[in-house]
């Protein structure tokens, strides 16, 4: 069984803060099953954006409760990230946006290898 989105986001933020990073909810979505997007900001002013991985990438036998994220934009300019998030919000207004500033943001996300 998959965790509710609000519980997952709370746990993510606590983990980042516990490791000395910064995390905040930029937009709250549906508590039960809102899609979660994670914006990672870097010191050089660029950002990476991770979105929920499509369900079609789950292999047989893979735990359905594991949240996997896929890279949508890598070290892009702020405006590009904003544009993509605006498109996603138009498609799904119940999405979550979480911002992370940490030395190794990938450690907090179940990023599916390419």
* CA gap 50, 86 in Å, rounded: 14
pLDDT digits (tens, 9 = 90+) for 93-111: 999 999 999 888 888 987 7
User: Is the whole-model pTM more than 0.75?
Assistant: yes
Residue 1, pLDDT > 90, answer no
pLDDT of residue 6: 94
pLDDT digits (tens, 9 = 90+) for 34-79: 899 999 999 899 999 999 987 654 455 455 446 689 999 999 999 9
pLDDT of residue 2: 72
């Amino acid at each position: 069984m998959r965790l509710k989105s609000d519980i997952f986001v709370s746990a993510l933020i606590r983990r980042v803060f516990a490791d000395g990073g910064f995390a905040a909810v930029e937009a709250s979505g549906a508590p039960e099953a809102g899609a979660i997007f994670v914006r990672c900001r870097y010191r050089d002013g660029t950002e990476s954006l991770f979105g929920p991985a499509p369900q079609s990438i789950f292999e047989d036998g893979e735990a359905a409760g594991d949240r996997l994220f896929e890279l949508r934009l890598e070290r892009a300019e702020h405006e590009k990230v904003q544009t993509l998030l605006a498109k996603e919000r138009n498609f799904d207004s119940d999405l979550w946006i979480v911002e992370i500033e940490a030395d190794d943001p990938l450690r907090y996300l179940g990023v599916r290898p390419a």
